Amino acid sequence: MAKRTVRDITVEGGKVLLRVDYNVPFTPGAAHIADDSRLQATLPTLRYLLENRAAVVLCSHLGRPGGKVVEELRLKPIAERLESLLGRPVGYVQDCIGPHARQAADRLQPGQVLLLENLRFHPEEERNDSAFARALASLADLYVNDAFAAAHRAHASIEGVPHHLPAVAGFLMERELAMLGQVLHTPKRPLVAILGGAKVGDKIGVLENLLGRVDALLIGGGMAATFLKAQGCRVGASPVEEDRLGFARALFRKAQARGIPLVAPVDVVVASAFAADVPHRMVPVDQVPEGWLILDVGPGTIETFKSRLQRAGTVFWNGPLGVFEFPAFAEGTKALARLLASLKEATTIVGGGSTAEAVHELGLEGAMSHVSTGGGASLEFLDGRVLPGVAALLDKES
């Protein structure tokens, strides 16, 4: 069901608690933000609220401090970067509840912004503690969720606060739901899904859910070794999820019965060890040397994928095709990103997480129809699950 957004409520003169996900790539202690794309993605909502004379209290988490204060994970550097992006002052307070947060929020005037401290400094956040949620909600009179990347977490700032305040979606949340919803419900055909990453187990739900919807399913990444072994290939020392081989074989059978191409790599880049600077070479999938590891797909696989993608109307991609953090094994992922960027007629949707990082690193985000901010959230959404942070928002019809 469609959710209400900031357009559907009166924000002028109100105080808005805006949940964002500023969990950005960050160098602890160095105040260095490697990628501020998540901050930039929230600017349309933030500017809309400020231009409509709302006072905005921002809340986010950063890293995994484990419910205690970790100095290196304070949000002050985030406030400073956001201030430069927004072009106006951004206040910052060293807690997210309590007297200091209350005083800072009370002083906030229409058109002003305040960033609260890291939510996860309090263990009650991840426990979805009702008293903690109520304390957060008391800082504002409206709640806007623009943190799609955290919408799959039933945390206090995500699921708890909407029990105490009128809750609607921001523009980023709205776009995420629209674009990913298009994959599930109204794709332009043919619909092609590309799934990579390390483990089959992480993607069982989305593999099963998408198989009945796609026109082709392409497999890469570390999980390809399990699919290749399920087809009878020897994969050397590549990690294989032995308990998922049955699932992979069954998926191949289902795909064949439905006439859906399920395409595994035809050639791979193998290495003598899992390291950045080791001997490596490209081989057909049936010639992986004993003791070697599959760390990327080869050019033949990209050409095979290309034949499917060039005819696609909609493409969804989640998961690198190789060990992208090692330059020698990033070529498959880079080649796929460039291929998708060249598809001018197709709707291209990139799942978040490391896939989005790869696209941003190559500077190709502008060539894609949509680059999701949420890796786990996008997978759970496409798995068919109801995300707690989405379910908590007011429906359009309410």
Q: What CA–CA distance (Å, rounded) separates 173 from 381?
A: 12
Residue 9 tokens, joined: 């409520």
Strands 293-297, 267-271: pairing kind: antiparallel
Residue 47 tokens, joined: 């500017």
Strands lying side by side in the sheet with 314-318: 262-263, 216-219, 191-195, 314-318, 347-350, 370-371
Q: What CA–CA distance (Å, rounded) separates 329 from 309?
A: 22
Q: What CA–CA distance (Å, rounded) separates 252 from 109?
A: 59
Q: Are 235 and 357 in contact (CB under 8 A)?
A: no
Q: What CA–CA distance (Å, rounded) separates 39 from 153?
A: 20
353 is catalytic: yes
Residue 221 tokens, joined: 């990444």
376 is catalytic: yes
Output the furthest CA–CA distance in the chain (Å, rounded): 68
Active-site residue identified among 63, 205, 313, 376: 376
53 contact partners, CB below 8 Å, separation of at least 6: 11, 12, 13, 110, 111
Strands 55-59, 91-92: pairing kind: unpaired
Active-site residue identified among 4, 15, 38, 153: 38
Q: What CA–CA distance (Å, rounded) separates 26 from 14?
A: 32
Q: What CA–CA distance (Å, rounded) separates 145 from 21?
A: 9
Q: Which candidate, 89, 90, 110, places its Cα nearest to that of 14?
A: 110
- List of E strands, the chain: 15-19, 26-27, 32-33, 55-59, 91-92, 113-115, 142-145, 167-169, 191-195, 216-219, 262-263, 267-271, 280-284, 293-297, 314-318, 347-350, 370-371
Active-site residue identified among 102, 127, 199, 311: 199
Active-site residue identified among 170, 353, 375, 389: 353
38 is catalytic: yes
98 is catalytic: no
Q: Which residues are catalytic?
A: 38, 199, 353, 376
